[in-house]
Copies of this chain bind each other. A is one copy, B any other.
């Protein structure tokens, strides 16, 4: 039975992408060699890397606007460090909306003065802080667009005169935004883009080269840009599968088209969470709810076993909430079909009928 995969990440990828990826591991490009046993400097793979970089900029509407796309290693966790290494000369402003923001702050604060402009740590990150002030004399402002663990999402971004850096690991390519508001966007691949093992960085070149410290080669965005994202051997397979997923997105109408479907999926599930008397959403304010990760709880603990049995029997996978929140989390990334959400809603209604 095909699973309904609500995993928070690594997560569901389009089945056509998985088929092409498996096929390339056997025989890539009809060359009778596996994708993973050819040189990363060979023409077929250089084409993959270039196509992936181009598609990333295209989906964000950032072509010919001074941005470069890189596929690096180390996940968002290494970007927490690289952002500070490359941009933090004196002080930086961070918005703290969850576990990942907190980790970004922890790594950056060793590089200069840290100004936490807002935080929802007081309520286990169940809301997005509003009306915070960003000083104009900081080197940059950093935020996290979607908080996978808590199920909150920034619906708008401040207008700032300083560079804006955003960790979009868990909602990149899921909705239309004016991405030119951002000067540096980074995202681990393993949600909407591909398998774990590569990280997309999209950076406006003009913000680089302004700190005085020595930057080690592997942590220097300028080094990676100068080598077209091939300073060292890239993560060949993760980059290839990311390219396939970005192609799939394009074939399916791009970010605008997928956003329409994502909105339908989120509306279907949140309507049920709000309607069904057995469930309650975790996020305090409805306007802060994430369209990628819906966090919710059963109001009666006694129903847990029955609910878990029902959704497991329906072929649903990955619904358990993160340990820091508990309850349930339904992650509805781009590749999750609307039908899977319907299956979950059906199970929630079945529980209500049985209860």
**Least CB distance, A354 to chain B, in whole angstroms:** 26
> Does A226 interact with chain B (Cβ within 8 Å)?
no
> Does A21 interact with chain B (Cβ within 8 Å)?
yes
**Least CB distance, A141 to chain B, in whole angstroms:** 21
B10 touches A236 (CB 8 A): yes
Q: Provide the residues of chain B in CB contact with A110, threshold 8 Å.
A: 214, 216
Q: Provide the residues of chain B in CB contact with A2, threshold 8 Å.
A: 32
Q: Which of A121-129, A188-196, A257-265 contacts B (4 or more CB under 8 A)?
A: A188-196
Q: Given A2-B32, A236-B197, do A217 and B26 touch, yes or no (CB 8 Å)?
A: no
Contact check: which of B1, B10, B40, B236 meets A233 at CB < 8 Å? B10
B236 touches A235 (CB 8 A): no
Whole-angstrom CA separation of A122 from B5 in the bound complex: 58
Which chain B residue lies CB-closest to A335? B37
Q: Which of A72-80, A280-288, A290-298, A342-350 contacts B (4 or more CB under 8 A)?
A: A72-80
Q: Which of A225-241 contact B (CB under 8 A)?
A: 231-238, 241
Whole-angstrom CA separation of A34 from B107 in the bound complex: 33
Q: Provide the residues of chain B in CB contact with A275, threshold 8 Å.
A: none
> Does A160 interact with chain B (Cβ within 8 Å)?
no
Q: Provide the residues of chain B in CB contact with A317, threshold 8 Å.
A: 33
Q: Provide the residues of chain B in CB contact with A1, threshold 8 Å.
A: 32
> Does A299 interact with chain B (Cβ within 8 Å)?
no
Q: Which of A191-250 contact B (CB under 8 A)?
A: 194-198, 214, 216-219, 231-238, 241
> Does A39 interact with chain B (Cβ within 8 Å)?
yes
> Does A178 interact with chain B (Cβ within 8 Å)?
no
Q: Which of A13-37 contact B (CB under 8 A)?
A: 13, 18-19, 21-23, 25-26, 31-34, 36-37
Which chain B residue lies CB-closest to A216? B81
Q: Provide the residues of chain B in CB contact with A214, threshold 8 Å.
A: 110
Contact check: which of B7, B73, B196 meets A78 at CB < 8 Å? B73
**Least CB distance, A326 to chain B, in whole angstroms:** 16
- What are 8 contact pairs spanning A and B, CB under 8 A? A2-B32, A3-B31, A12-B37, A22-B23, A74-B74, A75-B232, A196-B234, A197-B238
